[in-house]
């Protein structure tokens, strides 16, 4: 590996070394909160993802994270407290991509909704989320694959 910083001034070399250390620390997760629940898109389409989880004894849904092909989104940044996380994914045309069985509420635009019952009467859209058993771990990644 060639070192290309030899032609830089001492101050520039120090700044470059500092930037490399900071970027390396971020890549290793040093000094930065690590993703505790990530959704990775291995399908051939851009997906929009919403999640549901227990927050202070009540279910809450949140969305949207737009995830490109072969990319991941960190949807929960703190350590997981609930064993089960619920996920809903749709393509850019609004077509559901998962066969979920748990009804929860979503919105057409960015949202946070407390409670999962009576979606229609509260002005929300009812969607079927899949249940992800994180096996009581503190970190989990879910991979969305293309349909067979």
Rounded CA-CA distance 56/59 in Å is 8
pLDDT tens digits for range 69-128: 999 999 998 888 888 999 999 998 999 999 999 999 999 999 999 999 999 999 999 999
Are the CB atoms for 45 and 91 separated by under 8 Å?
yes
Per-domain residue ranges for the chain? 1-32, 37-144
CA distance 123 to 129: 18
The end-to-end CA distance of the chain, in Å, is 43
Sign of the torsion formed by the C-alpha atoms of 43, 72, 135 and 55: negative
Which residue(s) pair with 40 in the sheet?
A: 72, 143
């Amino acid at each position: 590996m060639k070192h290309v910083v030899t032609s830089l001034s001492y101050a520039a070399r120090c700044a470059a070394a500092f930037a490399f250390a900071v970027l390396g620390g971020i890549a290793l997760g040093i000094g930065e909160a690590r993703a505790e629940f990530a959704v990775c898109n291995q399908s051939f389409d851009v997906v929009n993802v919403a999640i549901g989880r227990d927050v202070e004894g009540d279910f809450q849904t949140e969305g949207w994270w737009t995830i490109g092909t072969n990319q991941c989104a960190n949807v929960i940044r703190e350590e997981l407290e609930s064993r089960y996380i619920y996920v809903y994914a749709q393509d850019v045309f609004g077509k559901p991509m998962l066969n979920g069985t748990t009804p929860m509420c979503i919105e057409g635009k960015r949202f946070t909704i407390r409670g999962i019952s009576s979606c229609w009467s509260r002005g929300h859209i009812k969607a079927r989320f899949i249940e992800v058993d994180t096996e009581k771990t503190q970190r989990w990644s879910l991979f969305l694959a293309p349909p067979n």
